[in-house]
Amino acid sequence: MTPRKRIAILASGGGSNAEALMKAMQAPDFPAEAVLVFSNVPGAGVLQKAAAYGVTAKVLHHKAYPDREAFDQAVLAVLAGARPDYLCLAGYLRILTPGFVRAYAGRILNIHPALLPKFGGPGMHGHHVHEAVLAAGERESGATVHFVDEGVDSGPIVLQQRVPVLEGDTVEHLAARVLEAEHLAYPRALEVLCKNL
CB 49 within 8 A of CB 15: yes
Question: Mean pLDDT in the chain?
Answer: 96
Angle at which helices 171-196 and 127-135 cross, to 10°:
110
The CATH number that domain 5-196 falls under is: 3.40.50.170
Nearest to 17 by CA among 197, 188, 195, 194: 188
CB 89 within 8 A of CB 148: yes
CA 70 and chain centroid, separation? 22
CB 24 within 8 A of CB 195: no
Nearest-angstrom CA–CA distance, 182 and 63: 29
Nearest to 83 by CA among 102, 53, 104, 98: 104
pLDDT of 70 reads 98
Those residues of the chain that have pLDDT short of 50 are: none
Nearest-angstrom CA–CA distance, 18 and 46: 7
Q: Would you give the end-to-end CA distance of the chain in angstroms?
A: 14
Map out the domains of the chain as residue ranges: 5-196
Q: pTM higher than 0.85 for the full model? A: yes
The catalytic site residues sit at 112
pLDDT of 46 reads 98
Amino acid 72 reads D
Nearest to 136 by CA among 148, 151, 119: 119
pLDDT of 2 reads 74
